[in-house]
Amino acid sequence: MKHFLYYILLIAIFVSSSCRKNSSASDSTEGNEAEPTIIYGIVADNYLIQSSKVEQGETMGKILAKYGISAATVDKLDKAAKEIFPLRHIRADRPYTTFIVEDSINGDKLDYLVYEKDVIEYVVFGFKNDSLTITKGEKDVTIRRQVRSATIESSLWGAIMRDSLPYALAAEMEDIYQWTVDFFGIQKGDHFTVIYDEKLIDTTHVGIGRVWGAKFNHAGKDIYAIPFKQDDKIQYWEYNGASLRKQLLKAPLKFSRISSRFSRARLHPVHRVYRPHLGVDYAAPKGTPVRAVADGVVTFKGWGGGGGNTLKIKHAGNLMTGYLHLSGFAKGIKQGSRVKQGDLIGYVGSTGTSTGPHLDYRIWKNGVNIDPLKVPQEPAEPIKKQNIAAFEQVRDRIIAELEGKATPDMIITQLDSLNLPQPDTLVVTK
């Protein structure tokens, strides 16, 4: 009897141990289960995923019809999507991705179609379980802080292209320095260093964010651009706290070149006689936007004889600017209109006496023509006294970073000083 009980006890211990082992193995297996694959916020493991691009003339209805979505369903989707993303807004060559349930018996079924509005934003159209859903989303973007330098040989754009910097950086630099640097007069050997946020999806460049500071050396002089928040607005300031903004923009248009300067005796290209040319000619393609160089009031809009379509704007300080040979005027511009600095006012053309598309830009002071390239510039309001100490702290950190002497903690402190979010990834490269 004792031996019988002994064997029963051994069997019980063996069974208990086996159960524990099986349970442990099961728990271990469950713990090692692979994480689901998430694409556009969708658990994608059980789908057939296909990617394509919208073809010329293709509509969302045509695309969905390929996957068995009826015209009636598309009509319902169109009505439901109006507030989020109207279906008519799809564009040729934009990518889209489909998530398909494979079924050899009943036929494949489309659960989701994701349309990419741009490199970051997308829209998910859902058809799962015969219900319609429309949601917007954004891809995860990593921000990488960059510090890059370049030397100019011919132009700012040329330097940026040569050194493989983001093209958008040229436009940002021109916007920041448009009151201070004459980009039509930059010289070979001028150079710059700039701090900016690069936007990345995985390892793909998708744009740039804020420019955190720059140093532009023009004709041997360093011109700094230091971002600082004053009156709840971030603007760029020079080393001494003077605003980079001035009364007048350096030029009324971008992406052009000076083809003729201010002169008291210039050989006229059409009449072939020497006569004064009391403005600056900017050669640019027809239709190039022309912008007001300062706040003011339109005093003349119309035909100016040899000047063709002409616009004149009166500004503070007894200044008046003129824009000649325009192909047309911006919408809403008329005599008496008030314009702000940078507002679109017209487009480059070749009207009047002209050998090709260009803008003849003129300035009068107290009714007398003056050289637009030599107008004395008064800066906007400088850093206020109560903000000087805070500004100098930010400035010194920015300059340390421009010179390669900054540490990550200095950069984080600078972000805190401006009350701005820190980048997801802080990678400083030189």
Residues 6 and 2: their CA atoms lie apart, in Å, by: 6
The residue with greater pLDDT, 105 or 293, is 293
104-108, 163-167, 227-231: range with lowest mean pLDDT: 104-108
Nearest 5°: phi and psi at 64?
A: -70, -30
**What pLDDT score was predicted for residue 185?**
74
Average pLDDT value for residue range 100-114 = 90
Is residue 42 pLDDT above 70, yes or no?
yes
Residues 288 and 21: their CA atoms lie apart, in Å, by: 77
**What pLDDT score was predicted for residue 411?**
59
- The residue behind tokens 């700012």 is 156
Read off the pLDDT of residues 372-405 as tens digits, 9 standing for 90 and up: 888 876 667 899 999 999 999 999 999 999 998 8
Is residue 14 pLDDT above 50, yes or no?
no
- List 194's β-bridge partners, or say none: 148, 214
Tokens of 362: 């003129």
**What pLDDT score was predicted for residue 9?**
39
Residues 348 and 301: their CA atoms lie apart, in Å, by: 15
Residues 312 and 294: their CA atoms lie apart, in Å, by: 12
Average pLDDT value for residue range 70-85 = 92
**What pLDDT score was predicted for residue 19?**
46
**What pLDDT score was predicted for residue 332?**
93
Is residue 3 pLDDT above 50, yes or no?
no
**What pLDDT score was predicted for residue 180?**
85
**What pLDDT score was predicted for residue 364?**
92
Q: Give the contacts of 301 (CB within 8 A, at least 6 positions apart).
A: 310, 311, 312, 329, 333, 334, 335
Average pLDDT value for residue range 222-241 = 92
The mean predicted confidence, pLDDT, of the chain is 84
**What pLDDT score was predicted for residue 409?**
59
Read off the pLDDT of residues 364-379 as tens digits, 9 standing for 90 and up: 988 999 888 888 766 6
- Strands laid side by side in the 221-230 sheet: 142-151, 191-201, 204-218, 221-230, 233-237
**What pLDDT score was predicted for residue 250?**
84
Using 50, 70 and 90 to split pLDDT, how confident is the model at 421?
A: very low
Q: Are 182 and 176 in contact (CB under 8 A)?
A: no
**What pLDDT score was predicted for residue 414?**
56
Is residue 336 pLDDT above 70, yes or no?
yes
Read off the pLDDT of residues 306-333 as tens digits, 9 standing for 90 and up: 999 999 999 987 889 999 999 999 999 9
Using 50, 70 and 90 to split pLDDT, how confident is the model at 410?
A: low
Give the domains, in start order, of the chain with CATH numbers: 38-138 (3.10.450.350), 142-248+384-417 (3.10.450.350), 257-374 (2.70.70.10)
Read off the pLDDT of residues 189-208 as tens digits, 9 standing for 90 and up: 999 999 999 999 988 899 99
**What pLDDT score was predicted for residue 31?**
52
